[in-house]
Amino acid sequence: MREAIILVHYPRGDLPIKGYRCSAGHERIPLDEAKRAELTANRLGLFGRQNERRRKLVTVGTSKAVTLPPEDIREVLHSSTSVIVARVGDHIEIHASGERDNAPEKRPSGKKRARRPASSKARKKPAS
């Protein structure tokens, strides 16, 4: 058997890993490489949707909110307080902020907020 790069197929993509291939075409993957590939595939989301649940939308003012179970927040969001929300076709994706390499960059809008003048009451001095 000789060393080779083996392409492992997952539901949402492929991942190249180190392994061995013999002249007959049989492939072998060392256990440590298989474990590393599984962790990488899980981190990249190549297994597809995991623990998919149906959630109700809650109306908060004029917006909608969704509740998340504590274990999902602990495992996925860690200590992050912000998320990236993107519309992709006919569905919405939510990603933990800073977790994805291809996250959209924040662009300055080019507009600066106008400062409000202090109220006229604060400027007037009381008459003596």
Domain ranges for the chain = 2-44, 57-96
Residue 100: which residues within 8 A CB-CB, separation 6 or more? 84
Give the span between the Cα atoms of 21 and 33, in whole angstroms: 14
The DSSP code for 35 is: H
- Write out pLDDT tens, residues 30-67: 999 999 999 999 888 888 777 778 888 899 999 888 88
Three-state secondary structure call for residue 50: coil
The DSSP code for 58 is: E
Q: Give the pair of three-digit tokens for residue 57.
A: 């939308």
Length of the chain: 128
Strongest mean pLDDT among 34-43, 63-72, 97-106: 34-43
Q: Give yes or no for a contact between 22 and 1, defined as CB atoms under 8 angstroms apart.
A: yes
The average pLDDT across 81-99 equals: 77
pTM: 0.46
Q: How confident is the model at residue 74 (pLDDT cuts 50, 70, 90)?
A: confident
HSE of 3 in the Cβ direction (CA atoms, 13 Å)? 3
